[in-house]
Amino acid sequence: MHLTAELKRKADPVATSAPTPAIEMAEISRRFGDVTALAQVSLSVRRGEFFSLLGPSGCGKTTLLRIIAGLDIPDEGILRIAGQDAAGLPAHKRPVNTVFQSYALFPHLNVRENLEFGLRMKKTPPAERARRVSEIMELVEISELSSRRPSQLSGGQMQRVALARAIVNQPQVLLLDEPLGALDLKLRKQLQLELHALQQRLGTTFIYVTHDQEEALVMSDRIAVMNAGRIEQLGAGCDLYERPRTRFIAQFLGSCNILEAAVQGRTGGRLEVRTKFGNLEMDLGPSARPLSPGDACTLAVRPEKVALRVDRNPHNANCFPARVAELIYTGSETQYHLEAAGGMLKAWVLNTRVGHQGLHAGEEIQVQLRSDALILLDD
Amino acid sequence: MRANLQTAVHHGETLTPRAYSLRTGASVGPGLAWLGALFLGPLALIALISLLSRGEYGTVGGAWTFENYRRLAGFGLLGFDSLYPLIIARSVLLGLTTAMLCLSAGLPLAFFIASCKGRYKNLALTLVVVPLWTNLLIRTYAWQMLLGPESSLTQVAALFGLAEADEGLYPGLFAVSLCMVCDFLPFAVLPIYASVEKLNWSLVEAAMDLGANRVSAFRHGIVPQIKPGLTAGFILVFLPAMGQFVIPDLLGGAKTMLLGNAIQQQFGAASDWPFGSAVAMVSLLVAMLALWLMARHTGDDELNIL
């Protein structure tokens, strides 16, 4: 499509040479009275990337987005947008556009007029304006809503209009502040895929704020998980999920069993630890933490990586007996709460066989924590 | 159980049609009776009288005629006379000027009050209303003293060469405007404040995000939202200001005739009730015309404001 090519060119003028990052920030801090919303956040977002800021409410992710948009000013720190220093650059002069959580559509303008607003402000000639607006309306499938007022739109339609109103300006970076938060689950899942496809097609850098970890995992190239005004960990979704560095990441992103442990010994890439479930062996992984016998550490195990065995003769390592205390059937999987001698443990089993799994509450089984499923946390 | 389709559910209460209409009558009735007897009736009388003519000794009588309206429009016995058209124009202008001045003074004030915190907000609102606790005549006479010759205000103005110290700042257009704005400001501020209070600021942010500078952001992010308040403020000031004549008389030097004192004069000194009624009917029509224009304008808030 003609428009897509145009947007792509604009987003990435020199496609081959080493591009400057879309967003660079160094030690950005923001305080509201006594509350520190952002504490020295440094970040670099690549061009054409789908980048998510993920975190619980109050973690500072929306403040970070507003600082990029120019709707809030940092107390300290440097921000560059497409290589240009953004200090002193007012919101209306920044090459970014925002999709607001509340959509913030102009109630007195119809859909087409809402879309035209940004182009009018930039004094785009009427003919080009009309062409671009029509193309975007087609792209996000809202052409038939053209003359409706925002009050006559459903939540999903308003979301599309808000998105179209932002991208029609061909921003260098599109900022999205929990745009799907107000929609029901099914529509949210559909729009997640559409947003991802749209981003791929336009090649525009997207910065997406959300508190929904699944949403972030579905769409993002990279995710920065924020907590209490800091970026706790940054990486691709699978890195964050498979190798969480902190207790917070392990528990915020998905579900996790946390084990307190003491180091017993270390041989090459393997570590022997003592836990409430007995002595366990684990792969050390890429962690470069110097650990010596006697040190305390924290381990994490994803519940779906806990292996359950019915056989009573386990000579495998990291095995211990447990009893099924409770089971929750969720359709695709069954979640077991296991009671071992050392304490409780969560285990999720995918229901691959037709009919139930055969485990009942009260049944005695063997649990295996495979050495590569144990993750060593930093805190 | 069969649902009785005749039964109305009213705020969770089930009422028979008879009880429902009784209640409606009881709640609306007194007001309607009051309006009918003391407003619509007299208004109809005035409309009828305006179509008659003045008899000898100020009696009302004669045949049905449009003569009063012809005279008002300027077609007197001695050819065209601009006296009454000018009175109408002058009154409308006075109303318009006062309304515009009150809106421009009230808008920043409303934003200031809305930005006040807690207690101070109530204090500020009270201060806006306080002048209404004093009688209009007393306030107007007070301005006469404040603006009179040798008053401290006049002396300050004289220092800047704006007035002669021994002549005072009244009578004159300045004194009239000043007093009118002071009297009508609360009626502009309160409705504007009510709409500023519930402003959705994310629309302002959206406008700035889409490339609007401060002025455009105000125009497109704020004005459409406070338009109902501005309209209400305009109407509440314009209508009474158009009929106001005490202030122009006391501070303007009683040299010019306005709709208000024209009516007073016809019913009083001139004893020409039919003509006075015609003036009253025309001023009512002018007010309704203004309201209709306003309603048409606010209903049509498309992109042409851009």
Out of A180-194, A257-271, B188-202, the most confident range is: B188-202
Is residue B8 assigned to a domain?
A: no
**ipTM value:** 0.81
**Do the domain assignments include residue B107?**
yes
Residue in A93, A106, A166 closest to B220 by CB: A106
Q: Which of A71, A106, A116 sits opposite B209 (nearest CB)?
A: A71
Give the total number of structural domains in chain B: 1
Strand, coil or helix: B53: strand
Q: Is the pLDDT of residue A130 over 70?
A: yes
Minimal C-alpha gap between A92 and chain B (Å)? 4
Ramachandran angles phi, psi of B151, nearest 5°: -75, 160
CB-nearest to B211 from A102, A106, A122 is A122
Residue-wise pLDDT tens digits, B237-248 = 998 998 888 888
Domain-located, residue B31: no
Interval B85-142: pLDDT, tens: 888 888 888 899 999 999 999 999 999 999 998 889 999 999 998 888 888 889 888 8
3-state secondary structure of B296: helix
Quick check: A169 and B210 CB within 8 A?
yes
- CATH code where residue B119 lies: 1.10.3720.10
Contact B212 A92 (CB under 8 A): yes
Top pLDDT among A186 and B207 is at: B207
Chain B: nearest CA to A38, how far in angstroms? 21
Separation CA B167–CA B299 (nearest Å): 48
Q: Of the candidates A274, A294, A299, A295, which has an alpha carbon nearest to the alpha carbon of residue A284?
A: A299
In a domain, B64, yes or no: no
Do the Cβ atoms of B208 and A108 come within 8 Å? no
Section B13-17 average pLDDT: 79
Q: CA-based diameter of chain A, in Å?
A: 79
Contact yes or no for B306 and A120 at CB 8 A: yes
Of the partner residues B216, B217, B301, the one whose CB lies closest to the CB of residue A108: B301
Determine the length of chain A: 379
Residue B298 lies in a domain: yes
* Residue range A71-125, pLDDT digits in tens: 999 999 999 998 889 888 999 999 999 999 999 999 989 999 999 999 999 999 9
Tell me what pLDDT residue B273 has.
87
Does B38 map to a domain? no
Task: Using an 8 Å CB-CB cutoff, list chain A residues near B303.
Answer: 109, 113, 116
Is residue B283 assigned to a domain?
yes
Task: State if pTM tops 0.95.
Answer: no
Which chain B residue shows the shortest CA-CA distance from A97?
B209
Please give the pLDDT value at position A280.
86
Which of B210, B223, B303, B305 to mutate: most A Cβ within 10 Å?
B210
In a domain, B29, yes or no: no
Predicted pLDDT of residue B136: 87
What is the distance between the alpha carbons of residues A101 and A62, in angstroms, rounded to a whole number? Answer: 10
Of B277, B106, B118, the C-alpha closest to B183 is: B106
Measured between beta carbons, the chain A residues lying within 8 angstroms of B208 are: 70-71, 90-92
Which residue from A164, A204, A252 is spatially nearest to A48, judged by alpha carbons?
Answer: A204
CB contact under 8 A, A92 and B209: yes
Name the minimum distance, in Å, from the CA of A141 to any CA of chain B. Answer: 21
Domains and CATH numbers, chain A: 3-248 (3.40.50.300), 255-376 (2.40.50.140)
Structural domain boundaries, residue B272: 72-303
Whole-number Å distance between alpha carbons of A323 and A332? 22
**pLDDT-wise least confident of A39-43, A287-291, B274-278:** A287-291
**pLDDT classification of B46: cutoffs 50, 70, 90:** very high
What is the pLDDT averaged over residues A255-263? 90
Q: List pLDDT tens digits, range A297-348.
A: 899 999 999 988 877 665 677 888 899 999 898 888 889 999 988 889 999 9
User: Average pLDDT for residues A197-223, to the nearest whole number?
Assistant: 92
